[in-house]
Amino acid sequence: MFENLKAQPADKILALMQAYKEDPRDTKIDLGVGVYKNAEGVTPVMRAIKAAEKRLWEEETTKSYVALAGDPAFSDALIALVLGDAVERANVAAAATPGGTGAVRHAFEMARMANPDVRVFVSDPTWPNHLSILKFMGLPTISYRYFDNATGAVNFEGMLEDLSQAKKGDLVLLHGCCHNPSGANLNLTQWQAVVDLLLKTGATPMIDIAYQGFGDGLEDDAAGTRLVASSIPECLIAASCSKNFGVYRERTGLLMAVSQDASARKLNQGTLAYLNRQNFSFPPDHGARLVTMVLTDEDLRADWAAELEDVRKGMLDLREQLASELQRLSGSDRFGFIAQHRGMFSRLGCSPEQVETLRADHGIYMVGDSRLNIAGLNKTTVPILAKAIIDSGI
Ligand code: LMR
């Protein structure tokens, strides 16, 4: 039977990760997969997570099942982190999922259950796995203009023009902050314009928020998501804890469905639990429990927020360094957008051939669309990258 299988295309980001591992050059620089690394190239376990883990080991008395939608305390804590007091807790249905990707997949499933003809509007570009999952599910996608390679900024007019084609029953996928892969984000005035347009079209927003705290801070990074959740009758929000809590391999995410009233919430809650049961039954608990412990303990939370803030500022410093080094070498401001972008990624806007030259000639690994992971750099490698960019004619 299995001889009938067709080979599937490798995920570009994960294939790059593998190619980097296999490269014997000791000067190689990994700017590929979206994993935070400190100046020593290490992805640390955050201090508060480590402390929570120790406490959990001492206190946990059972590994029995928790609940289909995960521990309600995790939902409460993460809803509060993402949504603040933008909406009534009673109107939010939520289920823990294996990572943010699990939440994304469920959100698409839920939209299709509600409307078998759903069309999903996705930014051009978007995280490649959004497209891959949508293709796998056979859902029609419509891309809307988002990133302008020429300016390194959002093509906001184009975005609004394309989104005006959406209609009731469509899903519009937005990145809550730190847009992946471009690094270019909406300001709050632009979020408001998107909200107004969505209200006009009747389309349902879905927000993927995977980098809260990596851009302008925990509160600012959630501002657009909160605006959407408080202004539009219904929305879906897929949140990931992989990056901001550094619990990548624990697969810790939450899907939230925000509605207008408690009876809609009940239906949504049942649907989310059903989706968990059909796909994997109970969601992973370990990472969710650690995150809950950190968010509900004053000292752990303060320490986590401080460490996250250091991570964020470190990435901002690297952005500024890289932009100014490129300005010095190129004698122009054309790379100024790198300092304006937020989060882990920036898209350089160069060709796949130039990305390949950087890899082949300089051992610099970035995703083929010219997305670079800022956190893969340090003070020593910034000038090396800047020189390689200029030497490659970018
Ligand atoms: C990325 O975009 O590199 C991360 O979200 C990791 C992944 O799974 O692709």
Give the per-residue pLDDT at 226.
Answer: 98
Cα–Cα dist 389/141, whole Å: 34
65-296 adopts what CATH topology?
A: Aspartate Aminotransferase; domain 2 (3.40.640)
97-to-240, 261, 285 alpha-carbon distances in Å: 9, 23, 9
Query: What is the torsional sign of CA 291, 269, 110, 79?
Result: negative
Q: What is the pLDDT along the chain (394 residues), one digit of tens a residue?
A: 999 999 998 888 999 999 999 999 999 999 999 999 999 999 999 999 999 999 999 999 999 999 999 999 999 999 999 999 999 999 999 999 999 999 999 999 999 999 999 999 999 999 999 999 999 999 999 999 999 999 999 999 999 999 999 999 999 999 999 999 999 999 999 999 999 999 999 999 999 999 999 999 999 999 999 999 999 999 999 999 999 999 999 999 999 999 988 899 999 999 999 999 999 999 999 999 999 999 999 999 999 999 999 999 999 999 999 999 999 999 999 999 999 999 999 999 999 999 999 999 999 999 999 999 999 999 999 999 999 999 999 8
Does domain 11-44+312-391 fall under CATH 2.60.40.60? My reply is no
The residue type of 215 is G
- Of the residues 16, 33, 132, 180, which should be mutated to test ligand 1's pocket, given the most ligand atoms within 8 Å of the CB? 33
Residue 329: partners with Cβ closer than 8 Å, 6 or more residues away = 386, 387, 390
Long-range contacts formed by 385-390: CB under 8 A, 24+ apart: 385/29, 385/31, 385/322, 386/322, 386/325, 386/326, 386/328, 386/329, 387/329, 388/358, 388/361, 388/362, 388/364, 389/326, 389/335, 389/348, 389/358, 390/326, 390/329, 390/330
Protein residue with its CA nearest to atom 1 in ligand 1: 34
Distance from the CA of 128 to the center of ligand 1, in angstroms? 9
**List 51, 94, 107, 210, catalytic entry:** 210
**List 148, 208, 221, 369, catalytic entry:** 208
Distance from the CA of 366 to the center of ligand 1, in angstroms? 12
Please, what's the largest Cα pairwise distance for the chain? Answer: 63
Residue 57 is a catalytic residue:
no
Residue 266 is a catalytic residue:
no
Distance from the CA of 97 to the center of ligand 1, in angstroms? 16
User: Looking at ligand 1, which atom is closest to the CA of residue 14?
Assistant: 9
Q: Which two tokens stand for residue 135?
A: 């293709």
Residue 12: partners with Cβ closer than 8 Å, 6 or more residues away = 128, 367, 368
- Of the residues 11, 12, 13, 123, which should be mutated to test ligand 1's pocket, given the most ligand atoms within 8 Å of the CB? 13
Cα–Cα dist 21/28, whole Å: 10
**List 51, 77, 95, 127, catalytic entry:** 127
User: Looking at ligand 1, which atom is closest to the CA of residue 32?
Assistant: 3
Give the per-residue pLDDT at 261.
Answer: 86
Q: Nearest Cα to 74, choosing from 251, 305, 244, 254?
A: 254
Residue 210 is a catalytic residue:
yes
**What are the sequence ranges of the domains in the chain?**
11-44+312-391, 65-296
Query: Is residue 220 a contact partner of residue 252, using CB atoms and an 8 Å limit?
Result: no
Distance from the CA of 239 to the center of ligand 1, in angstroms? 14
Host H or E run for residue 174: strand 171-175
Q: Nearest Cα to 382, choosing from 349, 338, 331, 333?
A: 338
Q: Which ranges constitute the DSSP H helices of the chain?
A: 12-22, 47-59, 72-83, 99-114, 128-137, 156-163, 188-201, 218-231, 262-279, 286-296, 298-330, 337-340, 352-362, 381-391
Cα–Cα dist 385/152, whole Å: 18
Cα–Cα dist 103/252, whole Å: 9
Phi first, then psi, for residue 336 (nearest 5°) are -60, -25
Protein residue with its CA nearest to atom 6 in ligand 1: 34
Q: Are strands 120-124 and 171-175 parallel, antiparallel or unpaired?
A: parallel
- Of the residues 30, 129, 209, which should be mutated to test ligand 1's pocket, given the most ligand atoms within 8 Å of the CB? 129
Q: What predicted TM-score, i.e. pTM, was given to this entire model? A: 0.97
> Ligand 1 pocket: which residues have CB below 6 Å?
13, 33-34, 127, 129, 180
**List 37, 95, 162, 243, catalytic entry:** 243
Residue 379 is a catalytic residue:
no
Protein residue with its CA nearest to atom 4 in ligand 1: 34
Q: Which two tokens stand for residue 368?
A: 């083929």
Give the per-residue pLDDT at 93.
Answer: 98
Q: Which two tokens stand for residue 291?
A: 């995150």
Cα–Cα dist 320/300, whole Å: 30
Q: Are strands 235-240 and 253-258 parallel, antiparallel or unpaired?
A: antiparallel
Q: Which two tokens stand for residue 71?
A: 């521990």
